[in-house]
Structures are given as C-alpha cells and as structure tokens.
Copies of this chain bind each other. A is one copy, B any other.
Amino acid sequence: MAANEFSTSHRVVYYEVDDTGHLTLAMLINLFVLVSEDQNAALALSTEFVQSHGVGWVVTQYHIQVTALPQTGDQVTLKTRATAYNKYFAYREYWLVDAAGNELAYAEGIWVTMSYANRKIAAIPAEIMAPYQTEPVVRLPRLPRPDRVADEVTMAEKPYAVRYFDIDNNGHVNNAHYFDWMLDALPADFLRGHQPTDIRIRYENEVKYGQTVTSAYVQPDESLTSQHLIHSGNVLAANATIKWQKKA
C-alpha cells in the first residue's frame, strides 16, 4: 500500500515574486504547506480534529532542492505525500511541477506532533495518520542538516522585529518568514543575480510576536554557499545552509 499523493494547481502572481519576477523561497514554502493543508482538508483532517487529540503538527526540518523558480503568470502544480512515519516523526515530500510536467523543485520535511499539555514532542496519534494510508516504518529517511558554523567565524547580523502580520492563524510565526529574515540580510545585488538551489533548514525554537530576532549570516563564498542563524536573544530559533547558482 502506497501513501496517497495529493495535488493542486496554482497560478504564480505578481505579489509572490521578487524584483526579478521569480517566485520567492518564502512563497515556495507557503505553497508546499498549502498543498499539504489542502490534502488534510480533503481527508477531513482539520486542525480541530488534530487538536482534539491533544497535539499540533510542527515542522522541524526541510531539505529543499530547486531546479528553477517559476515566474509571474506561470501555471504550476503542487504535489505532496505523507510518505512515511514512525512513533515520533513523519516524513513528507513535496513537488513543484511546471505546466509541461518538468519538476521545478522538490522538498522533504520532518514533522512532529507537539503536546498542548506540556509543549513537548508526543507520540503521533494513530488516528491522525491513518487517512494518509501511510505505512509505519522503523527507520525514516534522514534529512541533511545545515552546516555547523565554527565558533571562530565572525558573522554579520541584522535585527528583525517580529510583526503582527508574521503570526498565522495558529498563533505562531509562519515558518516561511524565516526565509525573509535570512535572505533579506544578504546584499540585494547578490539576491538579484543568484537563485537558491539547495536549502537545508532546521527549526529549533519558536519565535513569538513582540520579540526581535537577529539574522546572522556568512555571505556566500566561492562555493556559493551561505550560512544563516536566527536567534531570539541567546536562543537559536533556526539555522540554515543555502547553496546558490548564478541566474541563467
């Protein structure tokens, strides 16, 4: 039995792109989460149903590989599948496909269920996994982690106040905004001339409204790799390693 795949179509519009007309990384994550939420809705896995088991889904890690980013007006298809899970972790895959059927991006995510009672990771309730028709496995695929930035490396940093409109309907900072903070810290000329190709990100601790985060970064070197740390005070909120290539 294979896990159910789910897909939805989307038209890329002007407010989803950067000043070169390409879909932003933050919006790519928004769209991947959207297709998984659409799958949940189709399977009657509402937020309320999940919450009725005392837990909520939280993403801990993504690995995203980008071949090309679509442009304003492009019709794309988003696909997802809750591919595998074990007692504590669920492994989900995502695809972004163009109108001709070419894969533009592929992502993997590791999700956990957090208990509302003690804010700790809880065993995934069977009832909220069953509708995906996903088989439990013993060993899940491991996603590559961001690089470790050596302590002696000096990182430049920029502050970002968490805004009211960064908070989603669940009261958390929408995970896509971490990419706004990470990427905005890089020089505009670099962003304009380069496209991310491989993104490894880990979410460690939640950020709340009213806090100011620090986006620390090591600019892309000859290997076109940038390093990113988001801190709230001394607490690491997220870290990422991003590989880039020159835009065609």
Residues on A facing B (Cβ under 8 Å): 13-15, 17-21, 24, 26, 30, 33-34, 37, 41, 72-73, 163-165, 167-169, 171, 174, 176, 180, 183-184, 186, 188, 191, 209-210
Q: In the complex, A17→B15 CA distance in Å? A: 15
Are A169 and B17 interface neighbours, CB within 8 A? yes
Are B176 and A164 interface neighbours, CB within 8 A? no
| A183: chain B residues within 8 A (beta carbon) | 164-165
15 extra interchain contacts, Cβ-Cβ under 8 A, other than A14-B168, A14-B169, A18-B165? A14-B33, A15-B34, A15-B176, A17-B169, A18-B167, A19-B164, A19-B168, A20-B169, A72-B169, A163-B180, A163-B184, A164-B186, A164-B191, A165-B183, A188-B209
Are B169 and A21 interface neighbours, CB within 8 A? yes
Min CB distance, A206 to chain B, in Å? Answer: 14
Q: In the complex, A73→B163 CA distance in Å? A: 23
| A37: chain B residues within 8 A (beta carbon) | 14
Q: In the complex, A13→B16 CA distance in Å? A: 13
Are B165 and A26 interface neighbours, CB within 8 A? yes
Min CB distance, A6 to chain B, in Å? Answer: 15
| A184: chain B residues within 8 A (beta carbon) | 163-165
| A210: chain B residues within 8 A (beta carbon) | 188
Are A167 and B14 interface neighbours, CB within 8 A? no
| A165: chain B residues within 8 A (beta carbon) | 18, 24, 26, 180, 183-184
